[in-house]
Structures are given as C-alpha cells and as structure tokens.
Amino acid sequence: MEGATTVAVAIVGVLGTLLSALLTQRAAARATRVELAHAERERAREREERERADARELRRASYVALNQLARAHHRALGTWYEARSPGARTGVEAEERAPREAAEKARDELNAAYAEAQLAVSDEVLTAVSRLVLPLFRIQEALEKRSSPGEGEDIAELMGLASRRLYEARQVMRRDLGISQLPVERPEDHGKR
C-alpha cells in the first residue's frame, strides 16, 4: 500500500508541475492580451486626439485666412469707394484703377479661402461667412456698375452692414474655437471712441 501511495503522490506531483506550467502560460497569455488591448485602446485614443487637434488647427487656419481676407476685401472696397466719392481726386488713370484692382485681388483671395473653408469648417461658420460675403460682393458690384456718385445701391449702408457682419463672422469663428463668449452681434458702441 505504501508503494501505491508513493506512486499516487508522484503522479499528483508530476500533474501539479505540468498543470502549474500550463496555468502559468495561460495566465501570461491572458495578461499579454489584456496589455495589448490596453495599448491598442491607448493608441486609438492618442490617434483620435491628434485627429481632433489637426482638425481644430485646420479650422483655426481657415478662420485666420477668412478673417484676414474678408477684412482686406472690406478695406479695399472702402478705399475704392472713397476714391469714387465726390471730391476725390480724379483724372489720373493709374490712381483710379489701383483701388479697383486691389478690390478684385482681395475678392479673388477671399473666394479661394472660402472655397477651402467649405471643406473644413462648421455649417454655422459657413453661414456667418456667407452672410458677410454677400454684402461685400454687392458693394463691389455696385462700385463696378456705378458711373457717377449717387447711383445704384447705397454703398455706405452696405459698407456698414459688411462691417457688422465681419464682426459677427469673427465672433462665430472664435466661439467655435472655444476662445470667446462675447455676443455674436456687434454692440452699438463697438469701435466708437
């Protein structure tokens, strides 16, 4: 009987040794799977963060270009309007042509930035910029068609409207980036001293 007990103890010992190696291997494989899954989730989270940061930077760059070019177009139209106003010096063809060319160049650059932004910015921002671009183009069209002061649309009113919409578009962009809580509508006393 003692021999049977010894054999039984030996068999249990061998089985224990074999099972312990198997269980250790399974535990290590499970730990590796958990670790790999965690690493994959971490990489996915980092990739999503990079994509969000890249998208935000693309929006920011689009907003900077739109704001800068819309302001430049508004300024160029104002210069052209002043050059066509009563009392403005006339007769020098180059001086009369320069404001128009500057406005046309500014319009073309704004159009290019707007086309690019259509694929990168939110609908809310596009709506605000569209509301801005419309009066700018109406001013340009009125200046192109006007043969003498006083004809066509009231350009001064359109310039004021474009100025208000420029402020509004800029505020919508800033809110979208999370850097402003100011009202979208321009206060009545804004810019007055």
Answer whether residue 36 is part of any domain: no
For 36-86, what is each residue's pLDDT tens digit? 899 999 999 999 999 999 999 999 999 999 999 999 999 999 999 988 776
Answer whether residue 66 is part of any domain: yes
Answer whether residue 191 is part of any domain: no
Q: What is the percent of the chain where pLDDT is above 70?
A: 88
The answer to whether residue 152 scores a pLDDT higher than 60 is no
Answer whether residue 42 is part of any domain: no
Calpha distance 99→102 (Å, rounded): 5
Q: Domain containing 75: what range?
A: 58-177
Answer whether residue 62 is part of any domain: yes
Mean pLDDT of the chain: 86
Answer whether residue 9 is part of any domain: no
- Which CATH number goes with the domain that contains 161? 1.20.120.660
For 95-135, what is each residue's pLDDT tens digit? 668 899 999 999 999 999 999 999 989 999 999 999 999 99
